[in-house]
Amino acid sequence: MDSEARTGITLSVVVPMFNEQDALRAFADRLRPALDGLDEPYEVVAVDDGSTDKTPDLLHDLRTDWPQLRLVRLRRNCGHQAALTAGLDRADGAYVATIDADLQDPPEKLGEMLELARRDGLDIVYGVREDRSSDSGFKRHTAGAYYWLMRRLVGRQVPAQAGDFRLLSREAVEALKELPEQHRVYRLLVPWLGFPSGEVRYVREQRVAGETKYPVGRMARLAVDSVTGFSAAPLRVATWLGAVSFVTCLLLVVFSLSVYLAGMTVPGWTSLFVGVLFIGAVQLICVGLLGEYVGRIYTAVQRRPAYYVAEDTADRAAGRTGR
Ligand code: UDP
Ligand code: MG
């Protein structure tokens, strides 16, 4: 593979980090032996996603006696998926793995992923969560609904319960980099590419320290981005809502005319009120759905980069930004 020839790195491990100062030491203490034990040239691409705590300082400290650790620092918080984009864009390895920094994904599985990819000639190896009992009931249920919906929208090739813990070949990474969109949901885009893939099962552990960086608002955002990024079905929902309310209106016209002809037109405040509210609500929902897509078109037309790099400890041309 040309990248292997270029840099000699077999495995790049991309780790997005946002305010992970409490988890970082424990994470490094488990990641390093797992990678050193592989006996392969590797690099760890820690993407600091605009942390406001000591994460970047700690990473600089760790780098003093861990030469394979590379820091890519983003100028501000750009979000998990954008941090992944930054890492994938800059990783040099023949294989690139992505893993969370909170030890919910076990670093010991990286070796297994690499071995499987090489043995079976796979371009993608998903980490599939066997057991999510460490996650809250709320998270499990919303995640279940999310994966069900995504399999319907994108197709069967989306593995259920596979997050952003996975291994990609150089070819798959290059295919991702060629995609024109700036704002990506990788857990859908990667299966959509259609490369040969395999799975490694693992048990989802507790976050080792710190708080989740995915509060309900961000989870909802990810879900909306996933749906609108892959399907225009919600726009058809708007059409259907319009059709249903149109038929309802026709029935109401017949009803109100017959009431008028029967000479009983004075009472009717309730039906009028309900009718007006109903039509108003349907219209607002449809405008909102349309707005989601118009917003995405607007963002796509602006073509602003998903992230800005402030520092890359391996960057030969320092000061470069974006992609
Ligand atoms: N993360 C990030 N930028 C963000 C939010 C999260 O880089 O804006 C990182 C975070 O540091 C972690 C990974 O993405 O390494 C997954 O986040 P988290 O563990 O908080 O999500 P959860 O596991 O709760 O879904
Ligand atoms: Mg986590």
Query: Does residue 135 register a pLDDT over 80?
Result: no
| CATH number, residue 312 | 3.90.550.10
In a domain, 4, yes or no: no
> From CA 187, how far away is CA 164, in angstroms rounded?
6
Residue from 102, 166, 211 whose mutation best tests the ligand 1 pocket (most atoms within 8 A of CB) = 102
Query: Does residue 53 register a pLDDT over 70?
Result: yes
Q: Is 317 exposed, middle or buried (0-12, 13-18, 19+ CB in 10 A)?
A: exposed
* 84 shares a domain with 191: yes
| Ligand 1 contact, 213 CB (< 6 A) | yes
Count of residues in the chain? 323
Residue from 213, 216, 222 whose mutation best tests the ligand 1 pocket (most atoms within 8 A of CB) = 213
* 109 shares a domain with 162: yes
Index of the ligand 1 atom closest to the CA of residue 83: 7
Average pLDDT rounded to a whole number, residues 258-266: 81
Q: Enumerate the β-bridge partners of residue 11.
A: 42, 95
| Ligand 1 contact, 204 CB (< 6 A) | no
81-117: b (≥16 Cβ within 10 Å) or e:
bbbbbbbbbbbbbbbbbbbbbbbbbbbebbbbbbebb
pLDDT digits (tens, 9 = 90+) for 213-241: 888 888 888 888 888 888 888 888 888 88
Q: Find the angle CA(124)-CA(128)-CA(132) to the nearest 5 degrees.
A: 160
Contacts of 11 (CB under 8 A, 6+ apart): 35, 38, 40, 41, 42, 43, 93, 94, 95, 96, 97, 110, 114
| Ligand 1 contact, 312 CB (< 6 A) | no
* 110 shares a domain with 15: yes
In a domain, 118, yes or no: yes
132 phi, psi to nearest 5 deg: -110, 25
Highest mean pLDDT pick, 136-145, 159-168, 216-225: 159-168
| Ligand 1 contact, 27 CB (< 6 A) | no
SS3 of residue 246 by DSSP:
helix
Q: How far is the centre of ligand 2, averaged over its atoms, from the C-alpha of 166 (Å)?
A: 15
User: What pLDDT does residue 285 have?
Assistant: 83
Nearest-ligand number for the alpha carbon of 100: 1
Average pLDDT rounded to a whole number, residues 179-194: 89
pTM metric for this prediction: 0.84
| Ligand 1 contact, 51 CB (< 6 A) | no
Which residue type, as a one-letter code, is found at position 272?
L
| Ligand 1 contact, 55 CB (< 6 A) | no
What share of the chain has pLDDT > 90, as a percent?
A: 48
| Ligand 1 contact, 102 CB (< 6 A) | yes
* 94 shares a domain with 161: yes
Which residue type, as a one-letter code, is found at position 17?
M
Higher pLDDT, 149 or 57: 57
* 240 shares a domain with 194: no
* 187 shares a domain with 53: yes
Q: Give me the DSSP letters along 17-86.
A: ESS-HHHHHHHHHHHHHHHHTTTS-EEEEEEE-S-SSSHHHHHHHHHTT-TTEEEEEESS---HHHHHHH
In a domain, 225, yes or no: no
Instruction: Give me the helix-helix angle, 233-261 and 216-230, nearest 10°.
Output: 90
Query: Does residue 113 register a pLDDT over 90?
Result: yes
Say how many domains are in the chain.
2
Query: Does residue 3 register a pLDDT over 50?
Result: no
Q: Enumerate the β-bridge partners of residue 97.
A: 13, 167
In a domain, 180, yes or no: yes
Numbers of helices and strands, H then E, in the chain: 11, 8
Index of the ligand 1 atom closest to the CA of residue 17: 11
pLDDT digits (tens, 9 = 90+) for 55-108: 999 999 999 999 999 999 999 999 999 999 999 999 999 999 999 999 999 999
- Using CA positions, which residue lies closest to atom 12 of ligand 1? 100
Q: How far is the centre of ligand 1, averaged over its atoms, from the C-alpha of 84 (Å)?
A: 10
* 88 shares a domain with 162: yes
For residues 153 and 233, is the Cβ–Cβ distance under 8 A? Answer: yes
For residues 40 and 11, is the Cβ–Cβ distance under 8 A? Answer: yes
Q: How far is the centre of ligand 1, averaged over its atoms, from the C-alpha of 122 (Å)?
A: 27
* 291 shares a domain with 308: no
> From CA 159, how far away is CA 185, in angstroms rounded?
14
Nearest CA among 16, 65, 22 for reference residue 45: 16
Q: Which domain holds residue 52?
A: 9-211+304-317
> From CA 268, how far away is CA 17, in angstroms rounded?
60
| Ligand 1 contact, 80 CB (< 6 A) | yes
